[in-house]
Amino acid sequence: MHRRRNDLDCKKLTVDINELAQMCSVGIATARKIGEDAGAVIHLGRRIVYSVKKVEDYLETI
């Protein structure tokens, strides 16, 4: 049986603002500030995602 992509245990490289807020247990405005302060903002056309690695590194330093 083939495993579907959703069934794989892999870590996301990027997340959107809603996932970032949930990941950090904060509101959207605070999540946006954390993402910007961490330098984790990635623009993909009109879509904005945040680098999980950069956010994690930033949160370890504060």
Residue 37 contacts residue 58 (beta carbons within 8 Å): yes
Residue 29, exposed/middle/buried by CB under 10 A (0-12, 13-18, 19+)? exposed
Q: Which residue has the tokens 């490289």?
A: 13
Q: Is residue 4 part of a domain?
A: no
Q: How far apart are CA 39 and CA 59, in angstroms?
A: 12
Q: Is residue 1 part of a domain?
A: no
Residue 48 contacts residue 17 (beta carbons within 8 Å): yes
Question: What is the tally of structural domains in the chain?
Answer: 1
Q: Is residue 6 part of a domain?
A: no
- Residues 11-62 have pLDDT tens digits of 899 999 999 999 999 999 999 999 999 999 999 999 999 999 999 999 999 9
Q: Is residue 47 part of a domain?
A: yes
pTM value > 0.85? no
Give the range of the structural domain holding residue 51, as residue numbers without chain letter: 11-61
10 band by pLDDT with thresholds 50, 70 and 90: confident
Q: Is residue 16 part of a domain?
A: yes
Q: Is residue 31 part of a domain?
A: yes
Instruction: State the pLDDT at residue 2.
Output: 61
3 band by pLDDT with thresholds 50, 70 and 90: low
Q: Is residue 2 part of a domain?
A: no
Q: Is residue 48 part of a domain?
A: yes
Backbone angles phi, psi at 51, to 5 degrees: -75, 120
